[in-house]
Amino acid sequence: MGNSIAHKTRYALTFLCFILVVLFTLFLFTKRTLEPYLSFYQPSFHIHSSNAAFIDGNQTLDTAHENREMCDLYTGTWVKDDDYPIYKPGSCPYVDEAFDCQSNGRPDSNYLRWRWKPDGCDLPRFNATDFLERLRGKRLMLVGDSMNRNQFESILCLLREGLTNKSKMYEVHGYKITKERGYFIFKFEDYNCTVVFVRSHFLVKEGIRINEQGNSNPTLSIDKIDKTSDRWKQADILIFNTAHWWVHGKTARGINYYKEGDYLYLKLDAVEAYRRALKTWARWIDENIKPEAKLVLYRGYSSAHFRGGDWNSGGSCTGESEPILSGAVLDTYPFKMKIVEEVIQEMEVPVILLNITRLTNSRKDGHPGIYGKALKEGKTNSMRREDCSHWCLPGVPDAWNELIYATLVLKK
């Protein structure tokens, strides 16, 4: 009798051990299989690379980190996609009149149907609801010139597509977006998050000096951060840019314009001034940003496409209807972007370079040209300047924000 009980006990223990081994094996297998998908939802701002690999365009991550180097998000081509644009022309109330090309009479629409595709992978399909969920309780801030306002309007329109009740998205002060105003805060009530634009043409301090004749002249203190920087500290995700204002007027000539301390340079090369200003910005980031709590991106130079002159000398882009898909122009890379890369590499705080320069090289078809507010109002004038720097919306800046979304999806 005793031997029978002992035998049954040993059998039961053996069977139990077998079951535990099977369960443990299944646990390890399931964890390893699902881990890449589960990590998709982990809230963290730690990301040190802009390279990543996707299996497909449905937000499914590749299963192994070692494959991330296979795909550079910023090397690729534009492909036709009939599912684009993501929001319909004229549907978004946050596109200012200068960028609303269809409403301003642009007759063609093929420029709206191009999607950026990196070589070797696809971007995840943009999901406005998921983007908003990732922004829940946070503040995303774009700091820069009118190119960042162009991008800011794009991101508002993209995120608006994820709202069931669009009245719960609004500018907190009731301001309408115009180029005259340099500060906007948009609240998304259901997600307790905000998207903010802060105008800062140079990221360093603009000022005024009085010359010997009593006249006031603008100056740029390349060793001092911009006066809007206190606002930057309030953000969880920061997207910076500066570039286009460094080629205008006194900025380009550099005569009696740049200052360091109390010293006013009689003449300073604009490229060198740009380098010193970026280092001032980088120093501020290193001293004021905690990388474990905030995410910092710097958007690269956005290409202009003037033919037959510059922005102030009759340059034109009207009539361009297709991207440039081959040729040496696609590899054009301004020296200022090399400076940006060098400065970022020397920083202590990791900054993601949203390197959209080559991406925009090909999109000569994406600018407003003559299709601005003046044309809409019937104010045609052969001497009117065309806009071949900014972008129509919907349009190219939507792709920049798709890349930001991909970055948030991939953050580790």
Active site residue 122: no
Are 372 and 97 spatial neighbours (Cβ–Cβ below 8 Å)? Answer: yes
Q: Respond yes or no: is residue 390 known to be catalytic.
A: yes
Which residue in 100, 362, 390, 398 is the catalytic one? 390
Q: Which residue among the candidates 122, 145, 365, 387 is catalytic per the annotation?
A: 387
Sign of CA dihedral 376, 380, 384, 385: positive
Please tell me whether residue 122 adopts helix, strand or coil conformation.
coil
**Is residue 82 flagged as an active site residue?**
no
Q: Distance between CA 300 and CA 337 in Å, rounded?
A: 7
Determine which one of 146, 154, 229, 362 is catalytic.
146
Query: Greatest CA separation found in the chain?
Result: 118
Whole-angstrom distance, CA of residue 76 vs CA of residue 4? 73
Buried b or exposed e, range 305-342, using 16+ CB within 10 angstroms:
bbeeeebeeebbbeebeebbeeeeeeeebeebbebbee
Which residues are identified as catalytic? 146, 387, 390
